[in-house]
Structure 1
Amino acid sequence: MSWHTMDTSVIMPVEAEGFIQSLETFSLKEVGSARWFKQYEDIVKLNMQAILNASAMHDEFVKELLVSYGKIPVLVHEMILVEVWKHKVFPILCQLQDFNPKNTFHLHMAINHEATIINLLETIMFHKDSCEAADDSVLDLVDYCHRKLILLASKATQESTTVHSKHNLSGTADVSSVSLSSVNELLSQCADLEFEISLKAVSVLRFITDHTNSISAINRMLCTHNMPCVFVQLLDCCPWSRCRGGVVEKFINGRWQKIPPEDHLKMTKLDGQVWISLYNLLLKEDCQRKYDLNSFNKNQLLKLRGFLTEVLIDQLPNLVELQRYLAQLSVTDPAPPKKELILEQIPEMWNSIVQENNGKWKAIAKYQVKETFSPSESDLRSQAQRLAQLYNLDVIESLLPEKPKCGCCGKEATKRCSRCQGEWYCHRECQVKHWPKHKKACQLMAEATEKIQRDLKINN
């Protein structure tokens, strides 16, 4: 049986409904508490089930329930809450003299929670109704993605964390070599996860550019954060591609993969997300009215002409329209956007969490060292057993295959789908046979292309 067609479920729809109904927001002090841990488990299960449903073309009941119960803003809040905790509390916690963890299990969960939620959001935000259901929290999501993309564009997420220099842990008193090693491991995990989280943010922001009609969200992307120029910088530094020992590697499906010379010019899913985002932000009528094409922005955008080769446009044909737009931009000086008097909404989550806890960071860290991240042996065993049962499911093989397997027959595969590069096949015959099942996942970029082409025909 093909690993893409396994009929394995993590949770049933009625269980998912219960989990989603009970989703709630927590305070910063409660991160890692027993109630928080229970919700962490629920979100892990929801994330796994959402991925299964999307990849196997099953009824996407997790997405539907999150939309119908209005819980997407809760997910956004909890993701930003952990982001604040990692920035403000975790570094202090690691330097406390009485921080001598015998087990870092709870801390690993807290660190991983942000990645779990952004993964779930990436899966569900592909759909327009999810973007609409995010309501005002879409502004907080835009700001969150901007923070991650800035880190990505500066390649800060790829730099290894120097524990001793950044956190001065080697000079902390009463910290054993065992605990120091555990903390170093946690900090290294944080750095690795930050890179993967930032890549997920690229996809989430692309879906927002696809679906949002919010004037405030558009204004935030174009005027406040100047996302077109951020995307230009991303394409210029291409942090998901690297060369080691003369071998080109690209970050695909959650890991660095060696790319044969004949595939060096093939577009990855991340490349496609950035180009589609640029197309949406520069060519949509609502966006064009907002964006200020001053001399700096114009010069930055014209750098894109060097990337728009025939090979690239063959892979994403709608980019020919962007190429024409840039050619016209190079010989014109567009008028500045008209000043419009609008009542603009602003994001609140990050500022609200920071203001509520400002000046309390050390107190929160001390409380969590004593009460939250020092569980009893019995609690640790119980929680570890529950997560082990969850992660030991056969479904993990379908979500994280160690070696490329043919999406049709399950044999070892060497050929990748040229459209999405997310599925593998052993022969052309298997690819053709599997197309009806693979179609939905493959159209992550293809649907956007077709949609843009339809819009162009209508406009013309």
Structure 2
Amino acid sequence: MDGGGLGMTNLITPYEAEHKIEGLCNLGIELVGSTKYMQQVRTVEELNLQAHHNALNHSDEFVSDLLVTLDKIPTLIHELLVIEVWKMKVLPHLEETLTSSSMSVPVYLILQHELQVINLLECTLYHKQAVESTGGDAIVELVDYCYRKLVYLNTEAREYAESTNLDKDLSVKDVMNTTSEQELKKKMDETKFACSMCSLAVLRYLTDHLGGLDPGVMARLLDTHDVCMSLIPLLEDPPWWRVSNRTRQIESYEDNAWKALKGDERLRVNKHAAQIWLALNNLVVDPECRKKYTWTNYSIEQASHLKKYFNELLFDQLPVLKDLARVVDEIILGASYRTEEVMKSSLILEQIPEIFDSLVSRTRENFVSIAQRQAKDYFDPEDGEAIKSTKSQLESMLKSFEFLANLEDETKKQGKVGNDKDNAAGESDHVNVQIYKNLKEKGEEWEQVIDLSLKRNAKKDPEEVEQPAKELGITIKGLRCRLKVSKKSKTGTNLPLPSKGKITVSHKSNTATSTYEIPESGASKVFWISVGNLGVNQFALQLKSKLTESINDDGGVPTYVPEGGALTVRMEGQTNFVVPAGGQ
């Protein structure tokens, strides 16, 4: 297989990519969660990872080329609209089913699918050929999708950004009180925000290549949606900037995470802001756009707000904006570039987004019916197709995890291994584990039954490992330490695990929680519970429990008693690679 710029192999070969891309097809909203749909979800994820690997390493971009050659970009756009409408119209009727603990991974994959698709489009539509080869109808659908995301960014996005701006770390009690419904909503909100940010780049690429598109696309942007008036407010009150309630530092949303800005970083143009500036430059400066856009008193007043941002610091980073500054001055001085004749000629150019309209025009009863069938056939927590499909693809997922791990700069981290091992040995001395039992057969009412302290087993040295995050978000390197139960535990060290329980783990200032269920048959000598995510929680714990001969309070369920395990601590000084990777 081909190597990239980092000397690493590809996740998929060009031949495999061609086979996978040929298999992409338009799947209806009724099939979300089916085996065929989950296979396509997996395919898109692999294509997205490979496409970004190729772009980042300036190697042969065979994924993007094949999507163009095989005319599959319209298929991706169709896929984008289907999952968008499914979230809007069907998912609300499935919440009770999807909040089952066994559905967490399939639900995560489906919610992330929209982000995977728009991110793959972002990587592909960077190229002029990809934009111009896509049919006008599909591009209009994509323009409308991006506009819907602009509306969200101008309304709900700022509220979401502040809702996640916590003034302190969540306590164990707060984490325990988080319901499954709240966790599902959190994942939905995270994905919606990330998709909206990604759509800014896609919109900018469309404006880059307007000259090669149907005139109706320009009319859709300038007349139907007047996107300029949706872009300017985002520069004045950006939803990707906030002041941390915890540290009072300015934070910027980059690579799907909030990061504190230090020193000169505050003067750098955020990549989301850069996409907006470049899109505005295309729509305002381009001669054809200037002919077709009518500047009203309101739009002129909005454009005048841009003047306060024009300075040498901005021009040094985006020199092309000098033209935008000149044109804005002309507009303010009263120049108008749209005549009545041009206005009349443009009225016949509007195109209608037939795919989205056909998807959302169904009755509420129809969406309820779809949800009921999917709950029965695809999202059954025991043997639904979504569950089965996810289990069958575990090996392929692990391959993707390893691929992401290899994207890291090995040279940068070699010098830190020795120090990190010493740090991990000291930082992993104590881990607090609390285990809860659900008092209700239906619903949730948790009672703490076990409170353990685990300490590092000094007889075994920490070891460097490559471990994927549990929810397909981040893959990084960590250091694993063996643990044993400490005599300082607040409860007895021989108490059995509840057959169905919730576990909360605290390490340093970080906390993670998870649910588990002990199988009633086929008992093994050891039962493992995994908690935490290296990317989110900075650690991952594997709690090891041994089989005993005592009788569990829950009847015939095997009885296990915790005896130790392993803690993997994230290594410092390395780059996070988030699925999907950032764009160009």
| TM-score interval, smaller chain | 0.7 to 0.9
CA distance in 2, matches of 1:148, 1:138: 15
AA in 2 matched with 1:371: D
Counterpart in 1 of 2:394?
A: 385
2:376 is aligned with 1:370:
yes
Counterpart in 2 of 1:117?
A: 117
Q: Report the CA distance between 1:358 and its aligned residue.
A: 5.2
AA in 2 matched with 1:133: S
Counterpart in 2 of 1:316?
A: 318
**Contact 2:285–2:324, Cα closer than 8 Å, also in 1:** yes
CA distance in 1, matches of 2:41, 2:63: 16
2:148 is aligned with 1:139:
no
**Contact 1:100–1:179, Cα closer than 8 Å, also in 2:** no
CA distance in 1, matches of 2:328, 2:111: 42
Counterpart in 1 of 2:53?
A: 52
Name the SS of the counterpart of 2:253 in structure 1.
strand
The counterpart of 1:346, out of the listed 342, 345, 352, is 352
Counterpart in 2 of 1:260?
A: 262
Using a 3 Å threshold, how does the CA distance of structure 1 residues 443 and 254 change in structure 2: closer, same or farther? closer
Q: Report the CA distance between 1:161 and its aligned residue.
A: 11
Q: Report the CA distance between 1:34 and its aligned residue.
A: 0.4
The counterpart of 2:187, out of the listed 186, 189, 195, is 189
Counterpart in 1 of 2:421?
A: none
The counterpart of 1:359, out of the listed 361, 365, 371, is 365
Map Cα deviations across residues 396-417 of structure 1 (whole Å, 9 max, x no partner).
452xx5xxx69989878xxxxx
Q: Report the CA distance between 1:160 and its aligned residue.
A: 7.1
**Contact 2:220–2:351, Cα closer than 8 Å, also in 1:** no
Q: Report the CA distance between 1:95 and its aligned residue.
A: 5.1
Query: Aligned ranges for residues 131-210 of structure 1 at < 5 Å?
Result: 131-135=131-135, 136-156=137-157, 158-159=159-160, 181-210=179-208
Counterpart in 2 of 1:41?
A: 42
Using a 3 Å threshold, how does the CA distance of structure 1 residues 396 and 211 change in structure 2: closer, same or farther? farther
Name the SS of the counterpart of 1:251 in structure 2.
strand
**Contact 2:157–2:239, Cα closer than 8 Å, also in 1:** no
Using a 3 Å threshold, how does the CA distance of structure 1 residues 312 and 22 change in structure 2: closer, same or farther? same
Q: Report the CA distance between 1:60 and its aligned residue.
A: 0.5
Q: Report the CA distance between 1:330 and its aligned residue.
A: 1.7
CA distance in 1, matches of 2:415, 2:313: 31
CA distance in 2, matches of 1:56, 1:408: 17
Counterpart in 2 of 1:87?
A: 88
Q: Report the CA distance between 1:202 and its aligned residue.
A: 0.2
AA in 1 matched with 2:295: L
Counterpart in 2 of 1:129?
A: 129
Counterpart in 1 of 2:493?
A: none
CA distance in 2, matches of 1:442, 1:35: 27
CA distance in 2, matches of 1:99, 1:335: 55
CA distance in 1, matches of 2:583, 2:106: 38
CA distance in 2, matches of 1:262, 1:179: 40
Counterpart in 2 of 1:219?
A: 219
AA in 1 matched with 2:334: T
Q: Using CA pairs below 8 Å that are at least 6 residues apart, which structure has the higher relative contact order?
A: 1
Using a 3 Å threshold, how does the CA distance of structure 1 residues 65 and 443 change in structure 2: closer, same or farther? closer
Q: Report the CA distance between 1:279 and its aligned residue.
A: 0.5
**Contact 2:99–2:180, Cα closer than 8 Å, also in 1:** no
Aligned length: 395
Map Cα deviations across residues 19-38 of structure 1 (whole Å, 9 max, x no partner).
11111111111001001111
Q: Report the CA distance between 1:181 and its aligned residue.
A: 2.9
Identify unmatched segments of 5+ residues in structure 1: 163-177, 413-440, 445-460
Using a 3 Å threshold, how does the CA distance of structure 1 residues 252 and 102 change in structure 2: closer, same or farther? closer
CA distance in 1, matches of 2:158, 2:34: 28
2:308 is aligned with 1:303:
no
**Contact 2:219–2:349, Cα closer than 8 Å, also in 1:** no
Using a 3 Å threshold, how does the CA distance of structure 1 residues 68 and 380 change in structure 2: closer, same or farther? closer
CA distance in 1, matches of 2:129, 2:102: 45
Q: For structure 1, which segment, 341-350 or 62-71, has the greater mean C-alpha deviation from structure 2 after superposition?
A: 341-350
AA in 2 matched with 1:292: T
AA in 2 matched with 1:332: G
AA in 1 matched with 2:343: K
Name the SS of the counterpart of 2:288 in structure 1.
helix
Q: For structure 1, which segment, 334-343 or 375-384, has the greater mean C-alpha deviation from structure 2 after superposition?
A: 375-384
2:30 is aligned with 1:26:
no
AA in 1 matched with 2:207: T
AA in 2 matched with 1:41: R
Q: Report the CA distance between 1:191 and its aligned residue.
A: 0.4
Counterpart in 2 of 1:326?
A: 328
Q: Report the CA distance between 1:107 and its aligned residue.
A: 1.9
CA distance in 1, matches of 2:355, 2:414: 45
Name the SS of the counterpart of 2:147 in structure 1.
helix
Structure (1/2) with the larger strand percentage: 2
Query: Aligned ranges for residues 103-114 of structure 1 at < 5 Å?
Result: 103-114=103-114
Q: For structure 1, which segment, 32-41 or 244-253, has the greater mean C-alpha deviation from structure 2 after superposition?
A: 244-253
AA in 2 matched with 1:199: M
Name the SS of the counterpart of 2:268 in structure 1.
coil
AA in 2 matched with 1:37: M
Using a 3 Å threshold, how does the CA distance of structure 1 residues 295 and 407 change in structure 2: closer, same or farther? farther
Identify unmatched segments of 5+ residues in structure 2: 164-175, 417-580
Map Cα deviations across residues 225-252 of structure 1 (whole Å, 9 max, x no partner).
1111111011011111111132111122
2:15 is aligned with 1:11:
no
Using a 3 Å threshold, how does the CA distance of structure 1 residues 201 and 407 change in structure 2: closer, same or farther? farther
CA distance in 2, matches of 1:257, 1:180: 25
Give TM-score scaled by structure 2 length: 0.63
Using a 3 Å threshold, how does the CA distance of structure 1 residues 107 and 38 change in structure 2: closer, same or farther? same
AA in 2 matched with 1:141: L
Give TM-score scaled by structure 1 length: 0.79
Of all paired residues, the percent bearing the same amino acid is 30
Counterpart in 2 of 1:421?
A: none
Query: Aligned ranges for residues 442-457 of structure 1 at < 5 Å?
Result: none
**Contact 1:139–1:220, Cα closer than 8 Å, also in 2:** yes
